[in-house]
Chain A
């Protein structure tokens, strides 16, 4: 009985990951891509996307849910890249330059986002989502009008023919895959030969170490306390609002760096649209990895990125194969991305409700009394 219950609990806890894995495996025979091809693509995408997903961790620790406002950081990263392209700064120093330009912008935007989210406690996710739309308008104004008029742009071929505003797509060939190719290892042989972007992995590993270290610091502990209960944390003397703002600032700055890494891997910068889907795909990835709006870990990130992109690689091609329409495969991405976010949030709400009911039943002397007592004792501490 207990075994059946624990299996049920495992399935319930990992429902999204299990569903993704099942759909992905079912699509593999129809996608027409070889297994080594799928693995290579997943390894590349891991280096490209995981940094952005790690940026979501700290706001979750601080109880602010999934930071849809990370798009602001992505915009800051893009502004940094625009200046790197305009001033013709190439290679890894170009990426560092873009990051250095983007950092103060993302700190300001993160602070702004944090202040707004502090005014909307309990509704951080939807507020962040709408804030991203609002800031998108300002970003569009900035790149469409300010650049080339108030801020001079030296490189004529990135400016629209009217003399101001940036072109839709910027060629970043001087920065393209510079981090990936900095330390590219080829392992295996024949069909099973894989290129590993080791430099990207090293950057990612340092970021993960930073998160692990940060959790152990006083500020990290404060964030956990704020995430558990803001009132209790405030009573304990923790500056709640300041801690929440710091969480969002760090998340926004990391999103800025993540976007730079993402774009250098892609090789082109879609000036007006590239940041739109940043938060959306990062959040989908962390949810697929088994995280929720209140609980996440580094393992969720890696599982999520691999699973989501596994599905992104195989399903469009499988969709094309099954329906015979090349265009329809692309709809799978949007459908899957939005679907997983909605499904995960609904599942999370349902699980929360179940847990609450179970605990209440326990307090009334039901079968989960031990769990309820444990919670009560934990709260007393």
Chain B
């Protein structure tokens, strides 16, 4: 007869050890979540609707020391970053002025819009929540008798004359 030996009662010490392991496991999940949390930063160089901010004619922006990119009026770029604190190095083409700005995106969600003109002008808030557009195709009416609701003329029942 092949089998496992009869089970024994679990001691208090073992329960504590198991509980500690579970707590440690949850802590590991939380730590890896916080360490690896990514954000999408939308770098935007455009006018504000109320006219309070005007887009810069030409600007070079480098995020966290990465390769810089050029932005002209109405340009917008999406960059994925790790962590909440980031540094922008900005160079305005018109006057050659250089700025270094720090932002913290904590609590603003996964998608954050950073207005470069606001950053340069020192207008707060330069960082705001951004809701990206997601295309959702219109629902097709469900036709009973088809698997996915699509209309298949050949599958329609014919009406007897």
- Among B48-87, those with CB < 8 Å from A are 80, 82
The CA of A92 and the CA of B36, in the complex, are separated in Å by: 7
Q: Is B122 an interface residue (CB 8 A)?
A: no
Interface size class of A (residues with CB under 8 A): 20 to 34
Q: Is B23 an interface residue (CB 8 A)?
A: no
Q: Is A362 an interface residue (CB 8 A)?
A: no
Q: Which A residues are CB-close (under 8 A) to B25?
A: 100
Contact for B36 among A89, A234, A242, CB less than 8 A: A89
The CA of A84 and the CA of B29, in the complex, are separated in Å by: 11
Contacting pair A230 B2 (CB below 8 A): yes
Contacting pair B36 A93 (CB below 8 A): yes
Contact for A90 among B3, B28, B29, B82, CB less than 8 A: B82
Q: Is B38 an interface residue (CB 8 A)?
A: yes
The CA of A180 and the CA of B36, in the complex, are separated in Å by: 17
Q: Is A87 an interface residue (CB 8 A)?
A: yes
Q: Is A274 an interface residue (CB 8 A)?
A: no
Using a CB–CB cutoff of 8 Å, the interface residues on chain B facing chain A are 1-5, 25, 28-29, 32-33, 35-40, 80, 82, 110, 134, 136-137, 139
Most buried by B among A87, A97, A173: A97
Q: Which residue of B lies closest to A100 (CB)?
A: B29
Q: Mark contacts of A118-146 with chain B using CB atoms, 8 A cut-off: 1 yes-contact digit, 0 otherwise.
A: 00010000000000000000000000000
The CA of A94 and the CA of B34, in the complex, are separated in Å by: 10
A100-B36 contact, Cβ under 8 Å, with A88-B110, A234-B1: no
Q: Which B residues are CB-close (under 8 A) to A239?
A: 3-5
Q: Which residue of A lies closest to B22 (CB)?
A: A104
Contact for B3 among A91, A157, A241, CB less than 8 A: A241
Q: Is A156 an interface residue (CB 8 A)?
A: yes
Q: Which residue of B lies closest to A118 (CB)?
A: B2
Q: Which A residues are CB-close (under 8 A) to B33?
A: 87, 89, 93, 97
A-B residue pairs in contact (CB < 8 Å), sample of 14: A84-B36, A89-B33, A89-B38, A90-B82, A94-B38, A96-B32, A96-B36, A97-B33, A100-B25, A161-B136, A174-B38, A234-B1, A240-B3, A240-B4
Contacting pair A91 B36 (CB below 8 A): yes
**Additional A-B contact list (19), CB under 8 Å, known A88-B40, A90-B36, A100-B25:** A88-B110, A89-B32, A91-B82, A93-B32, A93-B35, A94-B32, A94-B36, A97-B36, A100-B28, A100-B29, A100-B32, A101-B29, A154-B110, A234-B1, A234-B2, A234-B3, A239-B3, A239-B4, A241-B4
Using a CB–CB cutoff of 8 Å, the interface residues on chain A facing chain B are 84, 87-94, 96-97, 100-101, 121, 154, 156-157, 161-162, 173-174, 230-231, 234, 239-242
Q: Which A residues are CB-close (under 8 A) to B29?
A: 97, 100-101
Q: Which A residues are CB-close (under 8 A) to B35?
A: 93
Q: Which residue of A lies closest to B111 (CB)?
A: A88
Minimum C-beta distance from A122 to chain B (A): 12
Q: Which B residues are CB-close (under 8 A) to A234?
A: 1-3
Q: Which A residues are CB-close (under 8 A) to B110?
A: 88, 154
Q: Which A residues are CB-close (under 8 A) to B36?
A: 84, 89-94, 96-97
Closest 10 CB pairs of A and B: A93-B36, A90-B38, A89-B36, A93-B35, A156-B134, A97-B32, A96-B32, A88-B38, A94-B36, A240-B2
Q: Which B residues are CB-close (under 8 A) to A94?
A: 32, 36, 38
The CA of A312 and the CA of B38, in the complex, are separated in Å by: 36
The CA of A262 and the CA of B67, in the complex, are separated in Å by: 30
Contacting pair A88 B2 (CB below 8 A): no
Q: Which A residues are CB-close (under 8 A) to B5?
A: 239
Q: Which B residues are CB-close (under 8 A) to A91?
A: 36, 38, 82
Q: Which B residues are CB-close (under 8 A) to A157?
A: 134
Q: Which residue of A lies closest to B26 (CB)?
A: A100
Minimum C-beta distance from B28 to chain A (A): 6
A231-B2 contact, Cβ under 8 Å, with A90-B82, A97-B33, A100-B29: yes
Q: Which residue of A lies closest to B34 (CB)?
A: A93
The CA of A87 and the CA of B38, in the complex, are separated in Å by: 8
Q: Which residue of A lies closest to B139 (CB)?
A: A162
The CA of A234 and the CA of B4, in the complex, are separated in Å by: 9
The CA of A259 and the CA of B15, in the complex, are separated in Å by: 32
Minimum C-beta distance from A253 to chain B (A): 13
Contacting pair A90 B80 (CB below 8 A): yes
Q: Which A residues are CB-close (under 8 A) to B139?
A: 162
Minimum C-beta distance from A98 to chain B (A): 9
The CA of A97 and the CA of B36, in the complex, are separated in Å by: 8
The CA of A156 and the CA of B39, in the complex, are separated in Å by: 15
Minimum C-beta distance from A124 to chain B (A): 14
Contacting pair B32 A174 (CB below 8 A): no
Minimum C-beta distance from B109 to chain A (A): 10
The CA of A89 and the CA of B35, in the complex, are separated in Å by: 8
The CA of A84 and the CA of B37, in the complex, are separated in Å by: 9
